[in-house]
Structure formats: C-alpha cells, structure tokens
Amino acid sequence: NAGVTQTPKFRVLKTGQSMTLLCAQDMNHEYMYWYRQDPGMGLRLIHYSVGEGTTAKGEVPDGYNVSRLKKQNFLLGLESAAPSQTSVYFCASEKSGTSYNEQFFGPGTRLTVL
Amino acid sequence: GQNIDQPTEMTATEGAIVQINCTYQTSGFNGLFWYQQHAGEAPTFLSYNVLDGLEEKGRFSSFLSRSKGYSYLLLKELQMKDSASYLCAVKSGNTPLVFGKGTRLSVIA
C-alpha cells in the first residue's frame, strides 16, 4: 500500500510555462484534494473532487485547473505559471465526506516559478 | 466563512507539558481535527473531536468545547521529536475542511 503519491517531488519552471502535477492514491478513496502551503499562510484548498468525473473550486482556484478522470488519480494543471505560484503543493485523499474521516496526505511537490 | 486562530509559535522544554490552543468561529460545526507536520514533510492525522470533552491518545490529548468555539491539543512528556507544526482544522456541514495557519512548536533541551 503506497497510500498517496505525488509526481514530481521538485520542479522549477519559468514564468509562462505549463505543467501538470499528478496525485495517485491506492486506498479507493472517493474524495481528493489539492492544497498549497506557503509560509505564514497555512494549507489553502485549491480544488477538490468528491468522486470520479467531478471537481469543485476551493479557496484559491485561480490559475489552476484539475481533472479526475480515474478514481485513483487527481491532476493539477498550471497553464501559464507565475512567480506567485511558487509553493509547496500537497494532495490529500479521504474515504468519503463523512465528518469523522481523516485526510491522508502525499509527500508534497516543491514548485519554484522563476 | 470560518475563522480559525492558533498561536504562531511556541517553545517548551523536553519532558514538560505544552498546550496548543485553537479558537474558531463557524456555522454548522461538524468536527475538529489536529494534524502534525514535521518540517519538510506532509501533515499526518493526530486527533478528531466532535463532542465536548477530552480525547486521550497516549501522550497526546485533544479537548473540545463547542459552546466556546475552543479546542486545545495537550502534549505530555515532551520529546525532541515533537518539534513540529500542529495544524487545527475545522469541518462545517458538508464543506471541505478548513485549516488554521498552524503552530510551530520547538522543544528545547
């Protein structure tokens, strides 16, 4: 059981470049989340998904797109990267939206946009 | 929206007890979580409270008062490995979890 994995672990982009971050989970969880974490700002929700084929906006969705074509995968796309998107990105999964279910986090992707 | 407050930093001595507070304002409260996050690593689940009272799990305990919008995480017999950030997160209704900014705890000898 790998849990939640993220690819890549590190990436440096130039302004205007695009990239996709991949999150995969092998726990058959319904819910998946993408967060960004910046110093002094805590974890902020970018987008989330409550099941295969569904996505919804979180607190800071601008500049990002997501897709959940398969239950086990949740992709985060940056179409035209900006320096303000320099951050650590965490993916998380949850069995369902029931209140008592904990979230399981991936190891994070450290992205720098120059 | 939700407003979650916790201290930015705390320092405590190895072997001591430390209490990390979290206050929140929300409607439709549906549970409060504590996560631990070591530097450079992912958050990991510590505890969940939905009813008033104390939940104990080894050296860690978490308390909730729904009427006061208040929770604390109590760490006993502090060890150097407890140096980490502690994140308070609140669930309201069916909306996604909202995290506080975290409390960075430094344990010193």
Q: What's the pLDDT tens digit per position in A88-98? A: 999 999 998 67
A87 CA: distance to closest CA in chain B (Å): 12
Is the pLDDT reported for residue A8 higher than 70?
yes
Query: What whole-number distance in Å separates Cα of residue A91 and Cα of residue A93?
Result: 7
Tell whether A50 lies on the interface with B, counting CB pairs under 8 A.
no
* A-to-B residue pairs, Cβ atoms closer than 8 angstroms: 45
What would you measure as the largest C-alpha separation in chain A, in angstroms? 41
Interface test with B, best of A95, A99, A100, A105 (most B CBs within 10 A): A99
pLDDT bucket at B1, cuts 50 / 70 / 90? low
B58 CA: distance to closest CA in chain A (Å): 19
Angle (nearest 5°) at CA B41 between A62 and A33: 35
Q: What's the pLDDT tens digit per position in A33-90? A: 999 999 888 899 999 999 999 999 999 999 999 999 999 999 999 999 999 999 999 9
Query: What whole-number distance in Å separates Cα of residue B27 and Cα of residue A59?
Result: 17
List chain B residues with CB under 8 Å of A48. Answer: 96
Q: What's the pLDDT tens digit per position in A14-30? A: 999 999 999 999 999 99
Q: What's the pLDDT tens digit per position in B17-41? A: 999 999 999 989 999 999 999 999 9
> First and final CA of chain B: distance in angstroms?
40
Is the pLDDT reported for residue B78 higher than 80?
yes
* A70-74, B2-6, B45-49: the lowest-pLDDT one: B2-6
Query: What whole-number distance in Å separates Cα of residue A34 and Cα of residue B20?
Result: 26
Of all residues in chain B, the one with the smallest CA distance to A110 is B40
